[in-house]
Amino acid sequence: MPADAAAVETIDLVRRFDELVAVDAVSFAVAPGSVFGLLGPNGAGKTTTIKMLTTLLAPSAGTGSVNGYDILREPVEVRRRIGYVPQALSADGLLTGRENLSVFAKLYSIPRSERRGRIDDAFELMGLVDAADSLVKTYSGGMVRRLEIAQSMLHSPPVLFLDEPTVGLDPVARRVVWDHLRAVRQAFGTTILLTTHYMEEAAELCERVAIMHQGRIAAIGSPAELVTASGAPDLDGAFAHYTGAGLTEGGSYRDALRTRRTARRLA
Amino acid sequence: MRSAHAVQRAAWPDVGGAVAFLEQVYAVAEADARKLRHDPVILLTRAVQPALWLLVFGQVFARIRGVPTGSLSYLDFMAPGILAQSSLFIAIFFGISVIWERDLGILHKFLASPAPRVALVLGKAAAAGIRGIAQAFIVYVLALFLHVDVRPSILAVIGVFLMVALGSAVFATFSLVMACLVRDRERLMGFGQVLTMPLFFASNAIYPISLMPAWLQVISGINPLTYQIDALRTLMIDGATSVFSVPLDIGVQLVFLGLLVWLAARLYPRVV
């Protein structure tokens, strides 16, 4: 990949579900090594965008690339180079933390001689050494999230996708997850694309954000730029300005159900 | 480095690829087996149903002597059938675990990994095979307890275990295909329940095919369960002879497995 190329890029990405246009001509580029946030209310199309970039969902139109590989023509090359933490708490509670990581070490064909070391390093980096051999169902919500980040980083992907990484976490656990994401970035120079509807999270972590509303990008820039451009006092105000928050309520029944289920597992 | 690797691959095509593929299959199967080890109670609860069939149904029907089973006693005849049935009942609901993994997001991560879909599906099929073997173990113990005339041979026991694993893999993959199509736990349970009894009754599990009306014989001829039970009976019971021949039994099941794995791998991304 050329040095100046974007780590993640979408060009007029569209996804329709029957009549609903979930993602409507979305274009953005993420610079290598930066943290980019997709902001928006529930149902704005953030998760659908991530699912297309992680090759889980085919776009209806438009295209995108990850680390220079086309998401439609080279999906396997894309998958080799990404880590993905879905919105739902996706570690298997019936297995230990180590077993959870071991499955993915094999799925990513990490050489046998490196597996143990990489898994130990990941536990170290995420502060989970003491919990490594406990069943995940005994973990706290924040620990599960860190385990998932550890798992997504096992194969040292250049790009990491996180869908609502701290939804349902208490403020302390949220801050710990942020600290660990910063550590990942510092250690590996990983490009991070995350979705969130917490303005605080975007302001803390992201160099650039795109505010999504009803499938479109309403505004894009650094948090400071968006605040200035909107004339609002802070990012919350900018968000309200661009999404008309309070006037429309997005999010399907299924979205709400999933968020609640995640919250319940975290409790 | 990269070119050296390429040369190596050209000289010996895709050995590295094949090993990686098998490891991916193994990873999926191993995760499931480890869950069983963490919670072995699951296995014990599954002993109840085959025990009831053998102890109650089997004992009563053996006394009536209503089913002509040739040189075999009725209990000898039906024990392999009950083994196949009890593993079928587990395998046919195997797709529920995939819907559960979908709800948790585990499946999303599997599908976002570079592992080929076929490897993910074969891993699930192998996991179902392992569960089937656990079931075979239980039915063997019951059969010995009831003095079923089992072949006293280690090779026969290994053959039975492999045959139960193969049959479980076939029906579990069938369940995965259904899961990909209905994408919902309740609907999948419904379909599973609708299908198990017809599969069971249109097979040679508890009566010989020769007793069936002609139309049912036709259906049983395309039912993979029939071939699994034919092989199981031949391998498990002393004095039993195969109706179709064991190689044919295995071949038919392998063809079913191949088709279903191919289909499930194509449909797998739809679950998300």
pLDDT tens sequence across A204-226: 999 999 999 999 999 999 999 99
The count of structural domains within chain B is 1
Please indicate whether residue B201 or residue B64 has the higher confidence score (pLDDT).
B201
Could you tell me the pLDDT band of residue B6, with boundaries at 50, 70 and 90?
A: very low
Tell me the CB-side half-sphere exposure of residue B224, using CA atoms within 13 A: 25
Mean pLDDT computed over every residue of chain B: 90
- Determine the pLDDT at residue A252: 62
Query: Would you say residue B3 lies in a domain?
Result: no
CB contact under 8 A, B28 and A76: no
CB contact under 8 A, B34 and A261: no
Q: Hey, is the C-beta of A90 within 8 angstroms of any chain B C-beta?
A: yes
pLDDT of residue A42: 84
Q: Running DSSP on this structure, what letter comes out for residue B94? A: T
pLDDT at residue B56, rounded to an integer: 87
Q: Are the beta carbons of A261 and B27 separated by less than 8 Å?
A: no
Q: Which pLDDT does position A245 carry in this prediction?
A: 61
CA-nearest residue of chain A to B107? Answer: A90
pLDDT of B9 > 50? The answer is: no
Provide the pLDDT for residue B216.
95
Q: How confident is the model at residue B177 (pLDDT cuts 50, 70, 90)?
A: very high
Check pLDDT > 50 for residue A134: yes
Q: How many CB pairs under 8 A join A and B?
A: 79
- pTM for the predicted model, two decimal places: 0.89
**Across chain A, what does the average pLDDT equal?**
90
Per-domain residue ranges of chain A: 8-266
Domain A8-266 falls under CATH 3.30.2130.30: no
- Position B244 in a domain: yes
- Quick one: pLDDT band at residue B204, thresholds 50, 70, 90? very high
Picking from A85, A83, A64, A101, the residue whose alpha carbon sits closest to that of residue A159 is A83
- Please determine, for residue B55, whether its predicted confidence score (pLDDT) is greater than 90: no
The arithmetic mean of pLDDT across residues A13-40, rounded, is 95
Domain that includes residue B214, residue range: 14-271
Smallest CA–CA distance, residue B271 to chain A, in Å, is: 10
Nearest chain B Cα distance for residue A135, angstroms: 9
pLDDT at A143 over 70: yes
Q: Which residues contact A266 (CB under 8 A, 6 or more apart)?
A: A89, A140, A141, A144, A168, A169
Decide if B1 is inside a domain: no
Residue B144 lies in a domain: yes
Which residue among A86, A95, A104 sits closest to B113, beta carbon to beta carbon? A104
A158-184: average pLDDT: 93
Question: Which residues of B are less than 8 Å from A88 in CB distance?
Answer: 103-105
Give the span between the Cα atoms of B128 and B32, in whole angstroms: 9
- Asked if residue A205 lies in contact with residue A181, where contact means CB atoms within 8 angstroms, the answer is yes
Does residue B5 fall inside a structural domain? no
Asked if B205 and B225 count as a contact pair (C-beta separation under 8 A), the reply is yes
The DSSP element (H or E) to which A75 belongs, if any, is helix A75-80
Q: In the predicted model, is pLDDT for residue B2 greater than 90?
A: no
State the pLDDT confidence band at B1, using cuts at 50, 70 and 90. Answer: very low
CB count in 10 Å sphere of residue A207: 14
Burial tier of A79 (Cβ tally within 10 Å: 0-12, 13-18, 19+): buried
